[in-house]
Structure formats: structure tokens, C-alpha cells
Amino acid sequence: MNVALHRTPKWTPVIFGSAVAIAAALILGSPTTALADDESFSVSLGVFLTNRDSKARLDGSVPESGTPVDLENDLGLDKSDNVFRIDGYYRFNEKHRIDFSVFDLSRSASKQIQKEIDWNDTIYPIDTVIDASLDLTIYKLAYTWAFMRRDKGYLGFTAGLYTADIGTSLAAESIGRASSGGVTAPLPVFGLRGQYDFSEKWTLRGSAEIFALEYGDFSGSLFDVYAGVDYQITNHMALGAGINLVNINVGVSKPNLDGDLDWRYEGGLAFLKLDF
């Protein structure tokens, strides 16, 4: 299985520019003995406006025999969608915290296909109407160590798991055929996370995580970057907006499951942040 990252998304320079700005501001700032924000627990409730590009292949008895399928163009899954998303963190002392995220990117569609598709040893002829679904739930959990702390923010090293719970299914009632496959892929990620307070009200936050591995019957790669700002309404509430870009490739080669999912999403996030 090949592990490959997609082309660089159009918003990547914006996010990396934000990361550079955070790092520069912190380096030039004054050291402090506490983080700029002092809440122990924070949760953000948001709407994620996504644009997606998904490609998949599910082989049958012969490795790499399945048809590569563009899930949006070939099967009609929506390219854009709005989903509910939860993000947050728990800080258990001045330098250490746990970050988490949960959101569901599942989709389904029905379309008359324009090419023959071989999916898990099931052949779907041209012009067959296929009911397709992609079940995809994301769980993110990471530990962050703030190795650099300043009066107005911090920069930290982060390590954790990006878990994609993936399931795909195709069914054609007219010809009495159906097939499905699924995998839970926990990908260990490493990266940087930081924030900079422009004022008492405005804060810039950013993160970048990456992973690539090919071992035995599994391969995977991941690139996840985020940049956003929030405005503090009260001591315990803020409104915010951000950009999140992810490229992910998961490949599995087992006796009962052989195939891959090559997937990208990018989008804007609007959220309400509650601090405790």
C-alpha cells in the first residue's frame, strides 16, 4: 500500500503564517510563571462547514483488484456539508493539558453510476443505481506540554491519537447486490500547539500535527493543521472562528479486508467556547 499526502491545501500558508506569528510573539515576549489563560477546563461547541474530497478502494479475493472510486463524483456523496463538532481541553497543571475533539462526517447518497465498479468482489455494471454510504467518525485525543510560556501565551509539544472510525457500503436493489467494509484506524500524531493573546479580549490559537507509517498489513498518513481566533465575551465565554485542514490516507491489507481510503477535508469552524 502506498502512503501519500495530498496536494497542499490552499489555506495551508495562512495557518503556517499564524503558527510563525505565535512563535515569534512568544519568543520576543517576557517569561511568566503561569499560562495566559487560567481556566482548568474548556469546551467549544461549534458548526464545522466542510469541503471534502474522498477516494476509496475495497478489494476482494485478489489484492488491488477493486476499482478506485471517487466517492463524491462517482457515487454522488455531498462535497460540502455542515456538521456539529465538540473540541476542548483539560489542564491539570500549568504546563500540561489534555486536548480532545469529536465530530461525525458520515454521508450517504443514491446515484446512477457512469462506470463499472468492482467493490469487494461485487461487480456493479454501468448505469446501475447505487445506494452508497460513508460512515466516518473522528475522535482526537492528545497530550500537550507547554515548553515555552510567556505573559501572553504559550507554545507546546503535542502527542496523541487521531482515530478514524470508517465504514463504507454499496448496495444496488435492482440487481440484488450489496457489499461493505470498515476499519477503526488509530493514528498516533505529533506536533505543536500554541496561542497568543493580542489583548484581554482577542486570542490567536493554532496547531499542526503529522503522522506517517507503513508497517505489516497497515499503512497510514495524516496532516492536520488549525488556526483560529476567539473573542472573550465574559470571563467564562468566548465566540470564535477558525480554519481546519486535514489530509488522511489509510490502507489495510488483511485476509478479510483489503483496500484503502484517501481522504481530505478543509473548512471553516464557528464556535462558542465555555471556560470553567
Q: Of the ranges 140-144, 166-170, 217-221, 226-230, which one carries the lowest mean pLDDT score?
A: 217-221
In the chain, the domains with their CATH numbers are 12-275 (2.40.128.90)
Distances (CA, A) of 53 to 210, 246, 262: 19, 11, 8
What local confidence, expressed as pLDDT, does residue 9 receive?
46
How confident is the model over 87-129, as pLDDT tens digits? 999 999 889 999 999 999 999 999 999 999 998 888 999 999 9
Decide which of 59 and 245 is more confident. 245
Question: Would you call 271 helix, strand, or coil by DSSP?
Answer: strand
Alpha-carbon span 85 to 269, nearest angstrom: 9
Q: Which residue from 102, 100, 174 is spatially nearest to 143, judged by alpha carbons?
A: 100
* Beta-bridge mates of residue 253: 258
Percent share of the chain, pLDDT over 70: 84
What is the Cα–Cα distance from 92 to 156, expressed in whole angstroms? 15
User: Around Cβ 225, how many Cβ atoms within 10 Å?
Assistant: 24
User: Cell 505565535 identifies what position?
Assistant: 22
In this structure, of 6-10, 73-77, 163-167, the range with the lowest mean pLDDT score is: 6-10
Residue type, 261: L
Q: With bands split at pLDDT 50, 70 and 90, how would you rate the model's confidence at 73?
A: very high
Residue 20 has pLDDT above 60, yes or no: no
Q: State the average pLDDT for the chain.
A: 84
pLDDT of residue 36: 45
The grid coordinates listed for 66 are 477493486
The structure's pTM equals: 0.83
Residue 120 is predicted with a pLDDT of 81
* Residue 258 near residue 250 (C-beta atoms within 8 A): no
Coil/strand/helix, residue 216: coil
Q: Give mean pLDDT, residues 247-259.
A: 74
The per-residue pLDDT for 56 is 85
Residue that has been written with the C-alpha cell 465575551 in this structure: 233
Name the nearest CA neighbour of 109 among 75, 140, 83, 79: 75
The C-alpha cell at 176 is 440484488
Amino acid 3: pLDDT: 32
At 84, the pLDDT band (50, 70, 90 cuts) reads very high
Question: In the predicted model, what is the mean pLDDT of residues 31-47?
Answer: 72
Our measurement of the distance from residue 250's CA atom to the centroid of its chain's CA atoms, rounded to an integer in Å, reads: 13
DSSP state of 176: T
At 55, is the pLDDT very low, low, confident or very high (cuts 50, 70, 90)? confident
The pLDDT of residue 31: 58
Task: Check pLDDT > 70 for residue 145.
Answer: yes
- CB-CB neighbours of 61 under 10 Å: 9
CA distance 44 to 23: 24
Count the residues in the chain.
Answer: 276
Q: Each residue of 189-242: pLDDT tens digit?
A: 999 999 988 888 999 999 999 888 776 677 778 889 999 999 999 989 999 999
Q: Which residues of 136-145 are buried (b: 16+ CB within 10 A; e: fewer)?
A: bebebebebe
